[in-house]
Amino acid sequence: MTSTAAIKKALFQGRDWITTQEWTEPELDTLLEVAADLKRKFKARVPHRYLPDQTIFLMFFDKSTRTRNSFEAGMTQLGGHAHFLTADVMQVSHGESAKDTGIILSSYGHGIAIRHDLIPGQGNAYMREVAKWADKPVINMQCDVDHPCQTLADLMTIREHRGRNTRGLKIAVSWAYAPSYAKPLSVPQGLIMLLPRFGIEVTLAHPPEYGLMPETIEAARENARRGGGAFHVAASMEEAFRDADVVIPKSWGCLDTMGSQPEESLRIAKQYTHWICDARLMALAKPGCLYMHPLPADRGHEVTDEVIDGPHSVVYAEAENRLHTAKAIMALTMADREIEYEA
């Protein structure tokens, strides 16, 4: 066992997890090492109650399957308890301020996690305001800018299949058609900001109406420059998929209409129903290319069954890693004692 307990406590205890941008590459590496160790312990049924008797409040302004259950199950496995809260059952629905919410909830427990992702300009700002007043860690379970729990799990999955040294990998992050609802922009934005920091060449593809927040594009370019990766923007899925090692095609809404007219995003999307991940596109990628998706995927629209259920797909391993990364984030930011882990 490798103990870095005193260092870990000093570096991580009490810190907020709002975007990956606030964390260094070595710190992100530590999170992934702890997540891998927690995964091994979970599989071997080795107890790892690093947060005994602790409470985290999970505030959801949007629906969830993987995020809610990874945090609830993860907190139980760490020895604590998670309170599931929706906006409609809280006084926030009557206008209670982020200040009051942050002060009160942090006085009742040991962490606050928030999902607020559908309205550009609101979710990330709300989390930061809660964090300003809370004296316990605030964790971003997905906002309008980033989905740092999902992207950390994605990087963990890529490393499990392609090795820790990701330099030179080519990854396509592409828009894909979905008729179900106008989905947040935070997954593609989080991916393009995070992956180039680890030497990965990322190509983003989308129709002209589905551009991402300018500040995330600029961050991706700067992170590629500093991290030795690369960042490109393509006008077609074909261009992005060519010679890719990993493809992550998913839908998202139009930045200009997400908050006020989400149905407009769906109307515009009908022009691009041919943006679907199918066997023809996968053939453009490298042999053995990984297909990834944060789920839920709109089968038959974003992706064909042949691909998502085929040999390239690692979506279920990716989804499982949401549990282990969520636990690593909670353990390192909330633990009041040293954590030993096997690197």
Model confidence at 9: pLDDT above 70: no
pLDDT tens for 94-121 read 899 999 999 999 999 999 999 999 889 9
pLDDT tens for 240-253 read 999 999 999 999 99
pLDDT at 215: 97
β-bridge pairing 170-175 and 81-86 = unpaired
Q: Taking the model in full, what pTM does it have?
A: 0.94
Domain edges within the chain: 2-146+322-341, 150-318
pLDDT at 151: 98
Q: Residue type at 155?
A: L
Q: Residue type at 135?
A: D
Please tell me if the domain spanning 2-146+322-341 has the same topology as the one spanning 150-318.
yes
pLDDT at 275: 98
Model confidence at 86: pLDDT above 60: yes
Band of pLDDT at residue 7, cut at 50, 70 and 90? low
C-alpha radius of gyration, the chain, whole number: 19
pLDDT at 309: 98
Look up the CATH number of domain 2-146+322-341.
Answer: 3.40.50.1370
Of the listed ranges 184-193, 201-210, 256-265, the one predicted with least confidence: 256-265
pLDDT at 257: 87
Q: Residue type at 5?
A: A
Residue listed under structure tokens 């969520």: 326
CA dihedral 25, 220, 131, 60 (to 10 degrees): -110
pLDDT at 5: 46
342 to 7, 26, 155, 268: CA distances (angstroms): 15, 16, 19, 49
57 neighbors 105 (Cβ within 8 angstroms): yes
Using CA atoms, how far apart are residues 286 and 229, in angstroms rounded to an integer? 19
Look up the CATH number of domain 150-318.
Answer: 3.40.50.1370
